Structure 1
Amino acid sequence: MEQHQPMRRVIRMFPDYGRDYPLWENSTPTWDVGYTTTPADYGLSEELGAELGAWQAFWEEHANSSEEWDTDDNLRAWLRRGEALARRVQTEVSEFADVQIEFGPRPRRL
């Protein structure tokens, strides 16, 4: 059976323990991408992929959960960096996908 890519994909961005990258995508009946994704799945630049990995690693090092951080400064820096990275991902995938931020105070699409 041939898979047909959805008109606009939605890349979800949030961290989770044990992951290398904070990228996710829900499969559809005609587009099975799994659930966890990587920068290569979207053709992201190597530089952006490395920065996404570092952002994920920073979260694992400094957050006890999505809501508990070792310091408020680390949380603020991580949120700012995540917003900037999400905008860069959106720029690189603008032809075929939207980025949905699911970290921080409220989920939203860019």
Structure 2
Amino acid sequence: MITNSFIERAKKYVRLSNDHDLSGIKCLFADDATYHSEYFGTYQGSDAIHAMMTSFFARFPDAHWEITEYRNNKQNGAEFTFVMTGTDISTGEPVRRHGLERIYFTSTGLIQHIAVCKPEQ
């Protein structure tokens, strides 16, 4: 797979996330994908990831990610720093989170793994 397509695929994932398009997002993941977030934990399999995202968007119904630059990570993927904003409906409080996200793809272009890291302190 050409490395520029990793960036295009990462952009598509972020665009679908900003649109809260859960069915579109689910189609991007390999069945045996994994997801690890320093904010929300580890999930294995596309069904578990989808359930986590469904819960996430219910809790943050206005979640939005701002990305300034996408980079190839030289390991079959792309990475980017982000600022996520939204409102936590469980508290009514606004949320603003910074982080680094790395997305790794299969040879067929599906998401194999996502790692979401908190910014270095």
Which category describes the TM-score, using the shorter chain as reference length?
Answer: 0.3 to 0.5
More strand per residue: 2
Q: Which has the higher helix share?
A: 1
